[in-house]
């Protein structure tokens, strides 16, 4: 299943604060309330979140947004893939820097030998 960055960000926010209002979530994610509602409904259609009212709350417009087991698994897999990519990028950069350092050392050594 493919989810976009906005959907992933919303999954993370809902995981941390399932009682947040749509207005709070939209503000935190810096998207419009309409966009948030659309993204939330897409996650619901994919079976990644469950939306329910607070039964005992006087304000029946308050909802609880829970990640389903499928939503938790998807969020976890995306996070793992992200971490793997970043680790690979780190290793590649580390190798590049090591190669640059060894080239610089050779250049310094060769210029010192020419001076002698």
pLDDT value at position 10?
93
- Rounded to an integer, the average pLDDT of 106-114 is 67
Q: Tell me the pLDDT tens digit for each residue of 77-107.
A: 888 988 999 999 999 999 988 888 777 776 7
What is the total count of domains within the chain? 1
- Helix or strand (DSSP H, E) at 100: helix 69-115
Domain containing 60: what range?
Answer: 5-115
pLDDT value at position 116?
56
Return the beta strands (E) in 7-114 as ranges: 49-53, 63-67
pLDDT value at position 32?
94
| pLDDT confidence band for 61 (50 / 70 / 90) | low
- Rounded to an integer, the average pLDDT of 58-80 is 79
| pLDDT confidence band for 113 (50 / 70 / 90) | low
Distance CA 67, CA 70 (A): 8
Q: Tell me the pLDDT tens digit for each residue of 1-36.
A: 778 899 999 999 998 988 888 999 999 999 999 999
Distance CA 65, CA 50 (A): 6
Residue 74 vs residue 56, higher pLDDT: 74
CB 46 within 8 A of CB 3: yes
CATH number at residue 100: 1.10.10.10
């Amino acid at each position: 299943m493919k989810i976009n960055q906005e959907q992933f960000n919303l999954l993370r926010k809902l995981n941390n604060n399932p009682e947040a209002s749509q207005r709070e979530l939209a503000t935190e994610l810096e998207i419009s309330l309409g966009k948030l509602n659309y993204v939330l409904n897409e996650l619901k259609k994919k079976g990644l979140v469950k939306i329910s009212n607070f039964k005992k709350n006087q304000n029946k417009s308050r909802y609880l947004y829970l990640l389903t087991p499928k939503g938790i698994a998807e969020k976890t897999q995306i996070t793992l893939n992200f971490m793997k990519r970043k680790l690979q990028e780190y290793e590649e950069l580390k190798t590049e820097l090591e190669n640059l350092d060894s080239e610089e050392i050779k250049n310094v050594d060769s210029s010192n030998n020419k001076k002698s």
